Amino acid sequence: MSISLPGILMGFREGLEAFLVVAIIIHYLGKLNLHAFKKYVGYGVCTGILVSLFLGALLTYMGNLFGNTSLMSKMWESAASLAALTLVTTFIVWMINHGRNMAKHVENQIDSNLSKTGVFLVSAMMVAREGVEIAIFAFAGQYSIESIFTGLFVALALAILIFLSLIKVNLGTVFNITLVYLILQAGYLLGYGLHEGISALKDAGYIAKDSIILIKAFDLSSTVLNNKEGIIGLPLNILLGWYSKPEWLQFIAHYGYESAMFLLLKKQWTAQK
């Protein structure tokens, strides 16, 4: 697979958050003069990374195991995508509610777990949360390893520069922009999961070929908006999750989910002004 912008953005967004969380923890422990606790942050980070790698390997293994037939592949991708969406949605809601006060939230977590074990667990869970999200989207979006690591490298470089106070960045703006993109990708994940599930049920004979469930909301696949090869549709698919021939159920779920998340985000922004 080649390097793709969605993969880079995903790696960058989740990597930046993970790196900044680690930096916040280390800086806060320094303020509390608990330098001996810092090595437990490192242990937690390593544990969180291992958990993420394990999940990524498990998803890849399961995908290969169930990908031997078209029907099983569709059923697996549908079930995995919808299950992943549940977890991703919790991340999105958490970011909407706590994103602007991330540093304070992390410090409060440390205060509530002020022990070597507590610092280890907080570090592990926060890094694992970001890593799990990367693993889920890498699987569902089929992003290349090269794309993910490119994004992570850029995020690491930016986090180091911020930590050393060499540059000033409005992190609120960065996280808001990437959060909007994350919502768009999550909406696509929901639509994709439903589409694959409907297709699997049709192939298995559980849905008749003339079923109302298969009626398309619209069909632009013969135009430049074709999501697989259209000169406009393909970039839209890569960047925004555009689909040129969705079933009504897929269409309503996809854009209904995004609308609900954006309304929640707008409500939170309005409350914080």
pLDDT tens across 9-48, in order?
778 878 888 888 888 888 888 888 888 888 999 999 999 9
**Predicted local distance difference test score (pLDDT) of residue 7:** 75
Residue 216 pairs in a beta bridge with 247
**Predicted local distance difference test score (pLDDT) of residue 179:** 83
Name residues of the chain where pLDDT drops below 50: none
Residues recorded for the chain = 273
**Predicted local distance difference test score (pLDDT) of residue 104:** 76
The number of angstroms, rounded, from the C-alpha of 44 to the middle of its chain's C-alpha atoms is: 21
**Predicted local distance difference test score (pLDDT) of residue 258:** 94
Distances from the Cα of 217 to the Cα of 79, 121, 139, 198, 244, angstroms: 23, 47, 27, 14, 10
Domain count, the chain: 1
3-class state of residue 223 by DSSP: coil
**Predicted local distance difference test score (pLDDT) of residue 2:** 62
Q: Which domain holds residue 240?
A: 5-272
Q: Give me 90's structure tokens.
A: 């919790």
Asked if 63 and 78 touch (Cβ cutoff 8 Å), the reply is no
**Predicted local distance difference test score (pLDDT) of residue 142:** 64
pTM of the predicted model, to two decimals? 0.74
**Predicted local distance difference test score (pLDDT) of residue 155:** 86
Q: Give me 86's structure tokens.
A: 């549940």
Closest CA to 127 of 12, 17, 9: 17
The number of angstroms, rounded, from the C-alpha of 132 to the middle of its chain's C-alpha atoms is: 8
